[in-house]
Amino acid sequence: MKIKFYGVRGSTPTPGPTTVHYGGNTVCVTLESDKGKRLILDAGTGLRILGQELMHTRQPFYILLSHNHWDHIQGFPFFIPAYIAKRQITIVPGVTEEHAPDAILKQMLGSYFPVPHTTLAADIRVEPQTQDHWQHEGFDIQRCAMNHPGGGSAYRIRADGLDIVYATDNELNPPGLPVTSFQQWVDFVKGADYLIHDGQFVPDDYPLKHGWGHSLIKDALLLAEQGSVKHLVLISHDPDRSDAELDQIAADIKSQNWSFSTILAREGLTLP
| Domain spans in the chain, listed from the N-terminal domain onward | 2-271
Q: Which CATH architecture has domain 2-271?
A: 4-Layer Sandwich (3.60)
Q: Where does the pLDDT of residue 13 fall: very low under 50, low under 70, confident under 90, or very high at 90 and above?
A: very high
- Full strand arrangement of the beta sheet holding 28-32: 123-126, 88-92, 61-64, 38-41, 28-32, 2-7, 270-271
Instruction: Give 48-81 pLDDT, tens digit per residue.
Output: 999 999 999 999 999 999 999 999 999 999 999 9
Beta bridge partners of 198: 235
Instruction: Give 148-202 pLDDT, tens digit per residue.
Output: 999 999 999 999 999 999 999 999 999 999 999 999 999 999 999 999 999 999 9
Integer angstrom CA distances of residue 191 from 33, 39, 49, 82, 142: 20, 21, 32, 37, 15
pLDDT above 90 for 47: yes
d(CA 254, CA 200): 18
**Cis upstream peptide for 149 (omega within 30°):** no
pLDDT above 90 for 99: no
d(CA 205, CA 116): 38
Mean pLDDT of 106-131: 96
pLDDT above 90 for 112: yes
Mean pLDDT of 231-251: 98
d(CA 88, CA 100): 21
pLDDT, mean over the chain: 97
Q: What is the 3-state secondary structure (H, E, C) of 168-224?
A: CCCCCCCCCCCCCCHHHHHHHHCCCCEEEEECCECHHHCCCCCCCCCCEHHHHHHHH
Per cent of the chain over pLDDT 90 is: 97
Integer angstrom CA distances of residue 185 from 143, 144, 156, 191: 12, 9, 11, 12
**Residue with more model confidence, 110 or 22:** 22
